[in-house]
């Protein structure tokens, strides 16, 4: 019996994602000027206002107002009519020093003994559904909004788009868990005001179907056959969507954790990522478990896998590793036996994770919209401006946890 599964995504202009991007821009600047910075930064955005709060231990001094404004303008909130723009919004900082009670559990004389920054459990997931080992529905939902943002910035084919948008993709699966086709697509996009609402709705729907969808199919040809003439489209289903962004809804850091991860596939430990330096295992260990899951699937061990790791605050060694292959394992081992072998391949102490993935580098702004996983691993040069106007250039490697650099070790360990 076939079944349906749905995932959603949100654009970089969604208020929660605005908050995530500001928080991660602050992380990047702190790490660029002081790699040992300890940061937990939360952002709230609402009509004409940004509020920054959190804990920091760093040698770097930042102009946090300037950084927040640059992020907002880059996203596209540049007009007063949006009731939230980077040049005129207020920015209030309530950032203070990190609690020494937390810090004493993390820092150690020997870095290798660094404790976890908090307790909790983190999950990583991978599947053969896509070339990047991500769930298909989420990957298409991201692709729709990435392309919609490109069209908005081009301001050519569609000229009325504003930054806030959401997408949702429903896939039909066969009874053997293979995606067959797209059953439904939902897109809600903020737009300029129109004189006639019905004409506006008709134009937006026509433009999405005739301009956006063909561009996505052309840019992602391996997904093209999932599109069909029977897709149910719901475009701006509530009608008018002029008031949006932080003026329409208050945004907070860390409220889109399913969009950030696997679209509802697998599991989630509950911890958000953005605004946290890599000593916080909510972030770093979630990256490490994704790396494990992806390398296991890429090595041919299984078609789908969920990996869990858990920690106690201040303790270096994890409480344990759990593996669920959903019955797709290609080796004659129980999942518990697979987990034991995984423990011997991947060092999951916080310090080992930080060093393996080069996490004390300014690599986080790129993660703060359109998901932290399934993104291309690449090296880029980034420029940071200090509070005194001095410039710092850094060459950094992005999405290191997406590398397939443990495939050979997995194959050797499991005799694949």
pLDDT confidence of residue 265: 95
pLDDT average, residue stretch 342-358: 96
CA distances from 281 to 94, 255, 257, 277, 330 (A): 24, 18, 15, 9, 30
Q: Assess whether pLDDT exceeds 90 at residue 289.
A: yes
Q: Assess whether pLDDT exceeds 70 at residue 397.
A: yes
On whether both 287 and 237 belong to a single domain, the answer is: no
Binding residues for K(+), by number, are: 42
Contacts of 261 (CB under 8 A, 6+ apart): 123, 125, 268, 286, 371, 372, 373
Reported as a pLDDT band with limits 50, 70 and 90, residue 388 is confident
Quick check: is 105 in a domain?
no
Q: Cα–Cα distance between 288 and 346 in angstroms, integer? A: 9
Domains contained in the chain, number: 2
Written as six digits, the tokens of 103 are: 């810090």
CATH classification at residue 392: 3.30.300.10
Supply the mean pLDDT for the chain. 94
Reported as a pLDDT band with limits 50, 70 and 90, residue 105 is low
Quick check: is 58 in a domain?
no
Quick check: is 266 in a domain?
no
On whether both 230 and 324 belong to a single domain, the answer is: no
Quick check: is 92 in a domain?
no
Q: Which residue has the higher pLDDT, 113 or 307?
A: 307
Q: Give the pLDDT confidence of 29-79 residue by residue, as tens digits.
A: 999 999 999 999 999 999 999 999 999 999 999 999 999 999 999 999 999
Binding residues for L-methionine, by number, are: 55, 98, 249, 280
Contacts of 159 (CB under 8 A, 6+ apart): none
Binding residues for Mg(2+), by number, are: 16
Quick check: is 232 in a domain?
yes
pLDDT confidence of residue 197: 83
Q: Cα–Cα distance between 255 and 111 in angstroms, integer? A: 32
Sign of CA dihedral 186, 191, 195, 200: negative
Q: Which residue has the higher pLDDT, 194 or 303?
A: 303
Half-sphere exposure of 259 (CA within 13 A, CB side): 26
Q: Assess whether pLDDT exceeds 70 at residue 134.
A: yes
On whether both 290 and 198 belong to a single domain, the answer is: no
Task: Please count the other Cβ atoms lying within 10 Å of the Cβ belonging to residue 403.
Answer: 15
Q: Assess whether pLDDT exceeds 90 at residue 1.
A: no
Evaluate whether 226 touches 140 at the Cβ level (below 8 Å): yes
Reported as a pLDDT band with limits 50, 70 and 90, residue 111 is low
Reported as a pLDDT band with limits 50, 70 and 90, residue 98 is low
Quick check: is 302 in a domain?
yes
On whether both 208 and 326 belong to a single domain, the answer is: no
E-strand ranges in 200-343 read 232-235, 251-252, 304-311, 320-324
Evaluate whether 362 touches 330 at the Cβ level (below 8 Å): no
pLDDT average, residue stretch 287-292: 98
On whether both 405 and 283 belong to a single domain, the answer is: yes
pLDDT average, residue stretch 153-167: 96
Quick check: is 52 in a domain?
no
On whether both 300 and 237 belong to a single domain, the answer is: no
On whether both 180 and 291 belong to a single domain, the answer is: no
Quick check: is 374 in a domain?
yes
**Which residue range is the domain that position 395 belongs to?**
120-128+278-414
pLDDT average, residue stretch 272-280: 95
Binding residues, by number, are: 14, 16, 42, 55, 98, 164-166, 240-241, 249, 255-256, 272, 276, 280
pLDDT confidence of residue 99: 56
On whether both 298 and 365 belong to a single domain, the answer is: yes
Binding residues for ATP, by number, are: 14, 164-166, 240-241, 249, 255-256, 272, 276
pLDDT confidence of residue 109: 55
On whether both 222 and 345 belong to a single domain, the answer is: no
């Amino acid at each position: 019996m076939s079944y349906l599964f749905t995932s959603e995504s949100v654009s970089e202009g969604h208020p929660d994602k605005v908050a995530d991007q500001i928080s991660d821009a602050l992380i990047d600047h702190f790490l660029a000027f002081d790699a040992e910075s300890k940061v937990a930064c939360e952002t709230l955005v609402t009509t004409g206002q940004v509020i920054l709060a959190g804990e920091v231990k760093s040698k770097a001094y930042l102009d946090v107002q300037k950084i927040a404004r640059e992020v907002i303008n880059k996203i596209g909130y540049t007009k007063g009519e949006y009731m939230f723009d980077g040049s005129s919004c207020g920015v209030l900082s309530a950032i203070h020093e990190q609690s020494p009670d937390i810090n004493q559990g993390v820092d150690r004389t020997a870095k290798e003994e660094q404790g976890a920054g908090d307790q909790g459990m983190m999950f990583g997931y991978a599947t053969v559904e896509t070339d990047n080992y991500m769930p298909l529905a989420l990957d298409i939902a991201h692709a729709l909004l990435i392309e919609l943002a490109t069209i908005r910035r081009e301001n050519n084919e569609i000229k009325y788009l504003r930054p806030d948008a959401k997408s949702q993709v429903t896939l039909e699966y066969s009874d053997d868990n293979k995606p067959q086709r797209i059953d439904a697509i939902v897109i809600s996009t903020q737009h300029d005001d129109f004189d006639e609402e019905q004409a506006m709705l008709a134009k937006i729907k026509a433009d999405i179907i005739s301009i956006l969808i063909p561009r996505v199919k052309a840019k992602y040809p391996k997904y093209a056959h999932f599109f069909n003439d029977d897709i149910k489209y719901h475009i701006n289903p509530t009608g008018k969507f002029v008031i949006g962004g932080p003026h329409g809804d208050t945004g907070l850091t860390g409220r889109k954790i399913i969009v950030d991860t696997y679209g509802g596939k697998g599991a989630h430990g509950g911890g958000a990522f953005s605004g946290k330096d890599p000593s916080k295992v909510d972030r770093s260990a979630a990256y490490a478990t994704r790396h494990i899951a992806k390398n296991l699937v890429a090595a041919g061990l299984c078609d789908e896998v969920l990996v869990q790791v858990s920690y106690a605050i201040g303790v270096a060694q994890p409480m344990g590793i759990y593996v669920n292959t959903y019955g797709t394992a290609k080796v004659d081992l129980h999942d518990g036996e697979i987990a034991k072998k995984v423990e011997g391949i991947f060092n999951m102490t916080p310090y080992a994770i930080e060093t393996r993935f080069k996490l004390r580098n300014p690599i986080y702004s790129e993660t703060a919209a359109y998901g932290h996983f399934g993104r291309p691993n690449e090296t880029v040069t980034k420029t940071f401006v200090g509070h005194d106007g001095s410039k710092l250039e850094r060459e950094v490697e992005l999405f290191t946890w997406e590398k397939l650099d443990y495939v050979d070790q997995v194959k050797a360990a499991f005799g694949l």
